[in-house]
Structure 1
Amino acid sequence: MRYRHYKGGIYEYICTARLESDPETKMVIYRAADNSIWARKQENFFEIIEINGKPVQRFELIE
C-alpha cells in the first residue's frame, strides 16, 4: 500500500511491528521514495492533524 504524507511525500507501507522495549507500542514501518526505511508509532501514522485550521490525515492512503 502507498500513502501520501500531508507534506506531499509518497511512502510505501511495509508492515506493523512491536517496539522491543515496550511490546504494547505498535509501530508502522514504511519506505520513502529514496528507499530509506522509517518507523513511526501506529497511532501517529494514522492520526488526524490540523493544518491551517483544517483537519487532515498525516498519511492518506492513495492505493
Structure 2
Amino acid sequence: MEEIRPGKYRHFKGKEYRVLTTACHSETLERMVVYQALYGEGGVWVRPAAMWGELVERDGYSGPRFVFVEE
C-alpha cells in the first residue's frame, strides 16, 4: 500500500479532504486515517487505511478512492 501522508486529497466523487494523521485502532491495531472534510462543517472522520488506498469501480469510474492533491 502506498504511504498515506498528511495533505489534501480528492475523493473520486470530487470532494476534498485533508489527512491530518494516521493512527492505530486501540484493540485491533488496524491502521486508520484521520481526516477532515474541506467542505460543509468540516467534520473529522476516520477510515481504515486499507479502504483509503483501495481502487474503486463505480459509475464508469475506475481508479483510486482518494488521490493526493498537495501538502
Name the TM-score, length of structure 2 as normaliser.
0.79
Of Structure 1 and Structure 2, which has the larger fraction of its residues in strand? 1
Range 51-60 or range 4-13, more displaced: 51-60
The gaps in structure 1 that reach 5 residues or longer are none
1:41 aligns with 2:41: no
Partner of 2:24: 18
Name the TM-score, length of structure 1 as normaliser.
0.88
Taking only the aligned residue pairs, the percentage that are identical comes to 32
The gaps in structure 2 that reach 5 residues or longer are 1-6
Q: 1:36/1:54 Cα in 2 relative to 1: closer, same or farther (>3 Å)?
A: closer
Q: 1:54/1:8 Cα in 2 relative to 1: closer, same or farther (>3 Å)?
A: closer
